Chains A and B, each alone.
Chain A
Amino acid sequence: MADRKSIVTAALLILAAAQAPAFAAGDAGKGQGVFKEQCAECHSVEAGRNRKGPSLFGVLGRAPGSVADYEYSDAMKANAEAWSEARLNDYISHPRRVVPGGKMKYDGLDDAGDRADLIAYLATLH
């Protein structure tokens, strides 16, 4: 019986791992390259340095619309859900769908692997 429980538990763990968001396995080094390709023209990673977009230093876990001295859209200010990895993954995939009326003029990053790498890189910015 114990063996059977262990097998079921192991199977569930494997299933959970398989269904976990891809960003869990992201490569921060590659993500820095993705950032330079896709984001760096509008976003800085330096704390307090805002461009057309706000600084992404410490973005993971922070509340939307919370960077001081940056003028957010009303849509972003109304976005209450903190920037978790999953939320960032959704937003980077379809910015306009996740925050309709937001300022970010970006069509989205289709490649799930690139998104995972990018989020892994953003997670290092603390």
Chain B
Amino acid sequence: MSARFLSPTLRRTPGAGRFLASFLGTALAWLALAAPAHALPSFARQTGEECAACHIGAFGPQLTPHGMRFKLEGYSETDGKSGKIPLSAMLVASSGHSKADGNSTPSLQEASLFLGGRLADHLGAFVQATTDGHAQGKFSMDNVDVRYARTVDLKDGDLLLGLSLNNNPSVTDPLNTAPAWRFPYMSAELQETPSPLLAGGMEMQVGGANAYALWNNVYAELGLYRTLPSGFLNDVNVDLPDQKISGVAPYWRLAYLKDNHKDAWSVGLMGMNTKLVDRITGGPSDKYNDIGVDATYTYLGDRKNIFGLNAAYMHERQTLDASDDGAKVNLNRFDVSGSWHYDNTYGLTAGLFDTSGTGSENDSRGYILQADWTPWGKEGSWGAPWANVRLGVQYTGYTKLGNYDDKASDHNTLYGFIWTSF
């Protein structure tokens, strides 16, 4: 199981739910093709493995090295048995409180359907459609990552080669330092703080074709992104962006991933250069040049106590010819988080975030503390591998919010969630 867990900003149009119909149609086609005994498969069912094999804390999306490998191999590895249906679902109920926003009553925060798993030899998909409590049952396209991957035996080890079609820069990444997958994995609808364009600024609105390779612990990836056609975005209930990518925007990633089984570490670089122009009239462009560095360390041991540390820094240089008379803006974003999981059941995570740059409105910083309980997801757990649940409580504290006029700490948020998948 792996999902886009950070609550997305859903971009919906009043149009009909054709995407949901299409998704369900595909799902029913798979049901018709597969053995009826396997009604609701997931990655765990496909591989015969426990959730904890691929996910730290037995719940997504925090990946173990084994889980990273599964992702890079195109979600297509199996236990050799056929008849698995690549469908899953996810529900999140939550409640929150902040001084600025008051209390929210416990309610459905979001629900997702997934086409997730092996479609054919070497071909797999992770396609998510999501609705939330405000969407009146309409589903929108969420993360999409369809992969084809092959492993070539070389004298000095395996060479893994893959292709991905996706809709979010960095959703393809195996590490939890990538913007699409970093802590917090589930959160309240928090205050929006300035963020580089690469960190979620184009999600769901673009289409990317990426090629990647893993050889001798070196991971390299190159992707080319374009804004998706307006008609398609309407069909999948995603809001149209004001600006579109001019030409193609290149995304690149380079990382060294070392898996010692007892522990694992990585260091990496990523970047993206994007020119945005008015979606309808074109004209001058706003340029966003992003470059980031990240590092991780995970102690796994015998999986009784797992410790993780993730750190990422990204610098963005903006030249705003279209929207601000050629103004030049710098933006820096730093995220670090540390986690401890006991028995893949009890988890504690602490994170810090800091944004700074040109203009005081870009200065924001704060911290996030989370405690969670994941009772299932292990071999022999109740309902395995059909059901899993995580209960968590999270506190986000702001020490600075440059783009808000009121006191930063008034936005401090206490948030509780029940997050289940099956």
Contacts and interface: CB of A to CB of B under 8 A. Distances in A.
A105 B64 CA distance: 16
A87 interface: no
Interface string B149-182: 0010100011000000000000000000000000
B81 interface: yes
Contact of B78 (A32, A46, A52): A52
A105 B81 CA distance: 18
A33 B301 CA distance: 8
A51 B47 contact: yes
Nearest to A53: B79
A37 interface: yes
A36 B303 contact: yes
B77 interface: yes
Nearest to B78: A52
A49 B64 contact: no
A33 B261 CA distance: 12
A71 B53 CA distance: 20
B257 to A, nearest CB: 14
B146 interface: no
Interface in B127-160: 151, 153, 157-158
B302 A42 contact: no
Contacts of A42: 49, 53, 66
A105 B158 contact: yes
A83 interface: no
Nearest to B304: A36
A110 B9 CA distance: 48
Interface in A39-67: 40-42, 44, 46, 49-52
Given A51-B48, A51-B79, A105-B158, A41 B53 contact: yes
Contacts of B300: 37
A44 B81 CA distance: 16
B48 A41 contact: no
What is the size category of the interface that chain A forms with chain B? 20 to 34
B80 interface: yes
Contacts, number: 51
A74 interface: no
B301 A51 contact: no
Interface in A74-126: 96, 105, 107
Given A37-B301, A107-B157, A50 B48 contact: yes
A59 B36 CA distance: 33
Nearest to B54: A41
A105 B53 CA distance: 15
A9 interface: no
A71 B47 CA distance: 13
Contacts of B53: 40-42, 51
Contacts of A46: 379
Contacts of A51: 47-49, 53, 79
Nearest to B65: A41
A37 B261 contact: yes
Interface in B268-315: 300-303
A94 B302 CA distance: 22
Q: Interface centre among B47, B53, B64, B261, by most A CB within 10 Å?
A: B261
Nearest to A30: B302
Nearest to B70: A52
Interface of A: 32-33, 36-38, 40-42, 44, 46, 49-52, 69-71, 96, 105, 107
18 contacts: A32-B302, A33-B302, A37-B261, A37-B302, A41-B49, A41-B53, A41-B66, A42-B66, A44-B379, A49-B379, A50-B48, A51-B47, A51-B53, A52-B77, A52-B80, A69-B81, A70-B80, A105-B151
